[in-house]
Structure formats: C-alpha cells, structure tokens
C-alpha cells in the first residue's frame, strides 16, 4: 500500500503541473514569456485579458514551477523558470501539430500554400553557419524587446511593425531568411511578403528561438521552410 500511495502522489504532482498548462490563456502567456520576460500589464495587453485574470493565470504557472519573477524597480517581471520550460513548450507544440487533426491539417495547408520557393537548408547548424559566413541575411522580425532578450546567433533585428524603417540593414541581392516566434505566429510570413514586394529574395522558417533552444537541449526539432 505504501508503494501504491507514493506512486499516486507522484502522478498527482505531475498532474498539477500539467493542469497549469491546460488553459489556452496560460499556454499563450507561457508562449509570450518564452519570447521575453514581461510584466502583468504587458501580458494583459498582448493577451487581451483583464489584468486581474492575467495575474491569476500567472500565479498558477508560478505555483507549477513553470515561471519565476524578478523585481525591476516597481515592476514585477515574469519569465520561464529555466530553458527547459521553453524546450518543453516547443516539444508540446510540435507534438500537438503532429497529433491533433485540425492542427496537422492547418500546418499541411500552410506548407502547401507556401510551396514554390524553398531555401536550401538542412538543419540549424547549416543555417547559423551560413549567417556567420555572410552568405545570407538572417532576420528576426519580432518586436525589439524580444530580440534583445534572446535571438538566433547572427540575426539582425528588423521588427515587422517598422520593417520599412529597418530594411536598410539588409543587403539587396543577398538571400534573406526570416523567422519570428514560430508556431501560430505569422509575422515571418507577412514580412516575407512585404520584402519580396520590395525586391528582396526572402523566405521564412517556421520555427523560432524557442525551437532552436529545444534542439540545442537534445530535442529533434529541425526548422521547416515556407514562403510568406
């Protein structure tokens, strides 16, 4: 009986952590925190949730050991507890896309729609080596605060919201590879569409910094290529 009780408690604790991930708002908040640390007010703004509700969701994530806080003056900033949280989220997202019919169909439809122009990329290492050698322009189109928090090595910041003002950072004629948050984020595809209209040879990868970290920690999560 003692062994059975111990095992039950084990699964109860695991279940508590999984329960914290069971609400769509909390999943979205965790995704945003994997991009960069944010305050309750900032998260409430991007999630379109009341501050009180946002704070409640964050406390549940914190109790589950998924996020931690730090004080910056009068502000309390939230962030993932460690890199393992971002890697776990990347793995869950990829697993869901491969198992949930509606998600899988959506991914396949997006890829089919974006066929016709591909980038010769085999894995993350090749992508980063090409950026380091200056063979491509690797572009991060997320907001600047997310780029400043973390970004792919060799990437330049060209925020989608002010793309035209930052496009001078890019070299006309050089292949341009764009990324954003990955998953449901469409910023990279939108950026590619605008860059192509400006004459750039641009493509995008479907993955982002979170997925790159997951791969670095041992998850098999190579980037796919699609066109915006």
Condensed to tens digits (0 to 9), the pLDDT of residues 146-166 reads 999 999 999 999 999 999 888
Residue written as token pair 């914190």: 62
Using CA atoms, how far apart are residues 202 and 191, in angstroms rounded to an integer? 9
Q: How large a percentage of the chain has pLDDT more than 70? A: 83
DSSP assignments along 149-184, one per residue = H---TT-EE--GGGHHHHGGGS-TTS-EEEEES-TT
CATH of domain 117-226: 3.40.250.10
Find the helix or strand (DSSP H, E) in which 88 lies: helix 83-99
204, 154 contact by CB (below 8 A) = no
The CATH class for the domain spanning 2-81 reads mainly alpha
In tens, the pLDDT along 84-123 reads: 898 888 888 888 877 777 776 655 566 555 553 445 445 7
Write down the residue that tokens 């479907």 correspond to: 206
pLDDT in tens, 158-206: 999 999 888 888 888 888 999 999 878 889 888 998 998 898 989 988 8
- State CA 208 to chain mean position distance: 5
Angstrom distance (rounded) from CA 66 to CA 60 = 9
Q: Where are the chain's structural domains? A: 2-81, 117-226
Average pLDDT on 40-47 reads: 95
- Mention every residue, 6+ apart, whose C-beta is less than 8 A from residue 204: 177, 178, 179, 180, 188, 189, 191, 192, 225, 226, 227, 228
Contact 175, 134 (CB under 8 A): no
**Gap between the Cα atoms of 138 and 158, Å rounded:** 10
Residue recorded with tokens 């999984």: 18
């Amino acid at each position: 009986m003692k062994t059975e009780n111990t095992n039950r408690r084990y699964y109860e604790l695991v279940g508590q952590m999984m329960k914290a991930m069971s609400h769509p708002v909390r999943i979205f908040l965790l995704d945003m925190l994997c991009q960069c640390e944010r305050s309750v007010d900032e998260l409430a703004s991007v999630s379109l949730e009341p501050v009180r509700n946002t704070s409640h969701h964050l406390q549940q994530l914190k109790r589950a050991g998924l996020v931690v806080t730090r004080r910056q003056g009068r502000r309390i900033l939230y962030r993932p507890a460690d890199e393992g949280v971002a890697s776990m989220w990347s793995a869950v997202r990829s697993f869901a896309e491969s198992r949930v019919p509606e998600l899988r169909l959506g991914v396949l439809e997006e890829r089919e729609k974006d066929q016709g122009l591909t980038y010769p990329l085999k894995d993350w290492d090749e992508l980063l080596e090409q950026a380091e050698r200056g063979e491509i322009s690797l572009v991060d189109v997320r907001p600047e605060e997310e780029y400043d928090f973390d970004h792919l090595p060799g990437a330049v910041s060209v925020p989608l919201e002010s793309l035209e003002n930052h496009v001078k950072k890019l070299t006309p004629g050089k292949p341009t590879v764009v990324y954003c948050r990955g998953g449901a984020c469409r910023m990279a595809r939108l950026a590619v569409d605008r860059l192509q209209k400006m004459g750039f040879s641009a493509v995008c990868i479907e993955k982002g910094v979170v997925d790159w970290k997951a791969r670095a920690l041992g998850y098999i999560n190579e980037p796919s290529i699609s066109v915006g």
